Structure 1
């Protein structure tokens, strides 16, 4: 536990985080998130955050050393996609029972599980995750992993991020520390070249990185490792030989980017593949970093030519949507990099932003929003469900873009809603992704169902003329009602 405590303090003192640098020493020790309340939902624990970052490594076996519920609650919680191996979709757990805990059988059961996975699946590596229970009873995960690696001849990586140590964001960073300590730099590639890059913090949700990778391929740029989206263990182990890196989500893996720059001189920048302008800017910055690291400067000209070609195609496709969407108002209830990247993307086609959440956003993210929107009046740290409902029911927005947890607020307010978080079904990255995002917004806003659900229900409409009905409850009264309204149509009723 002492080594885990040291890692947590190291993450809390992250010098590459602008927000962290602005704190005093006392505040920095408290970390980036509010302390967790036992038994309260806090948007994910450290174990959940570590699993989110590492599970998309597709050919690795992910073994959860815990009672069954820990794995059952965290498995497959993001829509990351794989172009090959599917081992990451198999759920492995030691399934500790009360008897195992009482009798101290945890470490023995873990070693046996590692052996069974190695013999049945022969993965290139096994990642082992302790959780609250196994950390509290003192199972020495690192010792078991080291012994298993020596015995079975394959990497067994301990990911020390039990849930009680902090928030999901802390778990993201502890996962990065595990990669630095046990994976990156352990294999030397035989084909390192001057156009190799790493993409950090890209999860390939709904396969959206596959809309960006062909652009890099056309420029002759090879993605040495995309961490973690559609990643392979060998690629990550060789990631230290990349020449440059792009950070997509700094809140998750900024510590990984900074330490790779310190150890292996891999410069990085933070960018976005959401929106036409941001995608173009990201391609330019990648090329510029490669040139600084020794690549042929002719790549800059090829990059500009590719950008001009792709932008012309994308703007031509978007022209059909502009008359239908220009001036429409969007409420963006998300956070992190999407709080500014999606804002910029939507404003490019004339959509107005009436509000954007900056929860989980860094100081840099907030500054970008201010530059894009020209003020901070449309930024909110957190909006309660009641406030969201009031804003939507008063028709202050034409559509809300958010995650699945707030979709029912929009539906109750009879307002169009589109999922842009990890559960989304459509890819929105790159030039084609921007066109798809706009198409989905157009479909949502102009869906005829909204006109229908906003109309009063038929039973709320009052007849234009009423006659007194018999006061008795006899069959005669019932027959009178049937005869009176037989053959009536909607035109026979007054306005609702």
Structure 2
């Protein structure tokens, strides 16, 4: 428990966190991540945050040491995609019961579970996640994992992030610490090169990274490790041989990027693949960072040629949507990197941003939003459901972009809604992803269903005695069809 406490304190004092760096010494000790409020785990606990970061590592087994419900609530919490192994989609849990806790069988049951996974699946590694229950009763996860690794000859990685430790964001960082302590640097690649990079904080939601990787391949840039999206254990173990890194979601893995820079000299920058301009800037920054690390400067010219070609194609596709969406008002209720990257992307085609949330956004994220919007009135820390509903019902926005938890607010306000969080069904990264995002917004706004649901319901219209009940547009169309049909006879239909 003391080891976990020291690890948490170290994450709280993260020097790479700009927000924490701006505090005085006393405030810095409190930390840059809010502790979890008891009974308020809707946003996710530390265990959930650790699973989010590590679950997309596709060829390893993820074993949850605790009651069954912990694994049942988290095994498929993001729409990450895999191009190969499917082991990560299999749930493994020790399924601790009250009797196991009382009789002290937790560690024995964990060791047995590791052995069964090894014999049945033979994965390159097993990640073990303690939960609130097993952390409170004092199961020595580190010792069991070390003994199992020696006994069975495979990597067994303890991920010390029980739910009560703190928020989901803290769990993200603790997962990064587990990779640093037990995975990264434990293997050596056969073919390190001057164009190897790491992508940190990219989860490959709905296969988004597959829209970006072909661009890097055309430039001769190899992704040594994408952490965690569509990752393999060996690739992450060799990630210390990359020459540069890009951080996509700084609030999740900034500690991982900073410590890899300190230990192995891998410089990094924060960027985004959302939007045409941001994707182009990210490709330029990657090329420039590789040149600083010794790569041939000719890659800068090839990068500009690629950017010019892809931007021309993307803008040509977007031209058809510009007159349909120009002046449309969008409200974003999201956070993190999307709070500014999506804003910039939509403004590029003439869409007006009436508001964007900065929940879970870093100081740098907020500064970018201010530079883009030029108005602090469109920025809010957190908007309650009642306030969201009032804004949408007053038609101050034409569409809401958010996660699944607020979709019903938009539907109640009879306003189009599009999911841009982890549950989304369409990839929005890169040049093609931007075109897809605009296409989905256009489909949502132009959907004829909204004209129908906004009409008054028949039971809301109370006609006077003897007055005919007013019909909706759809009812008029139906009535006209019935009147035409009533003039036909059986002979008009011919033989059946």
* Whole-Å separation in 1 of the counterparts to 2:478 and 2:283: 75
3-state DSSP of counterpart to 1:377: helix
* Secondary structure of the structure 2 residue equivalent to 1:33: coil
Give the whole-Å Cα distance in 2 for the aligned partners of 1:390 and 1:494.
57
Q: How does 1:235-246 map to 2 (within 5 A)?
A: 235-246=235-246
Equivalent residue of 1:44, what SS?
coil
3-state SS, counterpart of residue 74 of structure 1: coil
Aligned counterpart, 2:88:
88
TM-score by length of 1: 0.94
- Aligned CA distance change for structure 1 residues 491 and 193 (closer, same or farther; 3 Å): farther
Give a deviation string over 1:445-482, Cα, whole Å, max 9, x none.
Answer: 00000000000112223447637999999999999999
The question of whether the paired residues in 1 share the 8 Å contact of 2:185 and 2:239 is answered with yes
Once the two structures are TM-superposed, the CA of residue 46 in structure 1 deviates from its matched residue by 0.3
Hey, what's the Cα distance between the residues in 2 that align with 1:140 and 1:469? 73
Relative to 1, partners in 2 of residues 1:307 and 1:99: Cα closer, same or farther, differing over 3 Å? same
Contact 1:331–1:401 (CA under 8 A) maintained in structure 2: yes
CA shift for structure 1 position 112: 0.4
Deviates most, 471-480 or 314-323: 471-480
Contact 2:321 2:439 in 1 (8 A): yes
Matches of 1:68 and 1:471, distance apart in 2 = 54
Taking structure 2 as the reference length, what is the TM-score of the superposition?
0.94
- What's the offset of the Cα at 1:489? 22
Aligned residues: 496
Q: 1:460 to 1:140 in 2, by over 3 A?
A: same
* Equivalent pair of 1:464/1:493 in contact (CA under 8 Å): no
**Structure 2 residues without counterparts, runs of 5 or longer:** none
| 1:455 counterpart SS class | coil
Secondary structure of the residue aligned to 1:138 is coil
Shift of 1:377: 1.2
Shift, 1:26, TM fit: 2.8
Q: CA distance change for structure 1 residues 114 and 468 in 2, over 3 Å: closer, same or farther?
A: closer
Contact 1:462 1:495 in 2 (8 A): no
Structure 1 runs not aligned, ≥5 long: none
Partners of 1:314 and 1:69 in 2: CA distance: 45
Which residue of structure 1 aligns with residue 332 of structure 2? Answer: 332
Distance 1:322 1:121, change over 3 A: same
1:6 is displaced (CA, Å) by 1.0
Rounded to whole Å, the distance in 1 between the matches of 2:113 and 2:142 is 15
For residues 83-132 of structure 1, the C-alpha deviation after alignment (integer angstroms, 9 at most, x for no partner) is: 00000000000001111000000000000000000000000000000010
Deviation at 1:376, TM superposition (A): 1.4
**Contact 2:251/2:336 (CA < 8 Å) preserved in 1?**
yes
Deviates more, 1:6-15 or 1:432-441: 6-15
More off after superposition, 436-445 vs 33-42: 33-42
Distance change in 2, residues 1:484/1:92 (3 Å) = closer
Indicate the larger mover: 21-30 or 106-115. 21-30
Whole-angstrom distance in 2 between the partners of 1:495 and 1:372: 68
Query: Secondary structure at the residue paired with 2:146?
Result: helix
Q: Specify whether residues 153 and 384 from structure 1 end up closer, same or farther in structure 2 by C-alpha distance, changes over 3 A only.
A: same
Q: Give the whole-Å Cα distance in 1 for the aligned partners of 2:315 and 2:67.
A: 52
Aligned CA RMSD, in angstroms, stands at 6.1
Q: Which range moves more in the overlay, 65-74 or 422-431?
A: 65-74
In structure 1, the residue matched to 2:391 is: 391
Within the alignment, does 1:373 sit opposite 2:364 as a pair? no
Maintained 8 Å contact 2:403/2:422 = yes
Structure 1 ranges of 4+ moved more than 4 A: 467-496
Q: Distance in 1 between matches of 2:146 and 2:134?
A: 17
The whole-number CA distance in structure 2 between the counterparts of 1:28 and 1:271 is 26
Quickly say closer, same or farther: Cα 1:492–1:417, change in 2 above 3 A: farther
Mapping of residues 342-357 of structure 1, within 5 Å: 342-357=342-357
**Kindly tell me: are residues 120 and 442 of structure 1, through their superposed partners in 2, closer, same or farther at Cα, counting changes over 3 Å?**
same
Distance in 1 (CA, whole Å) between partners of 2:489 and 2:6 is: 76
The question of whether the paired residues in 2 share the 8 Å contact of 1:469 and 1:477 is answered with no
The Cα of 1:273 is off from its aligned counterpart by 0.1
Task: Go from structure 1 to structure 2 and tell me whether the alpha carbon gap of 1:350 and 1:102 turns closer, same or farther (over 3 Å shift).
Answer: same
Name the counterpart of 1:437. Answer: 437
Distance 2:138 2:203 in 1: 32
Report how far residue 2 of structure 1 moved: 1.3
**2:410, 2:417 within 8 Å by CA — same for their partners in 1?**
yes
Deviates more, 1:84-93 or 1:32-41: 32-41
Alignment CA distance shift 1:431-1:70 (3 Å): same
Which residue pairs with 2:485 in the alignment?
485
Deviation at 1:40, TM superposition (A): 2.6
SS in 1 for 2:473: coil
Instruction: Report Cα offsets for 1:338-389 as digits up to 9, x if no partner.
Output: 0000000000000000000000000000000000011211000011100000
> 1:36 Cα deviation (Å)?
2.4
Q: Secondary structure at the match of 2:312?
A: helix
Distance in 2, matches of 1:464 and 1:233, equals 73
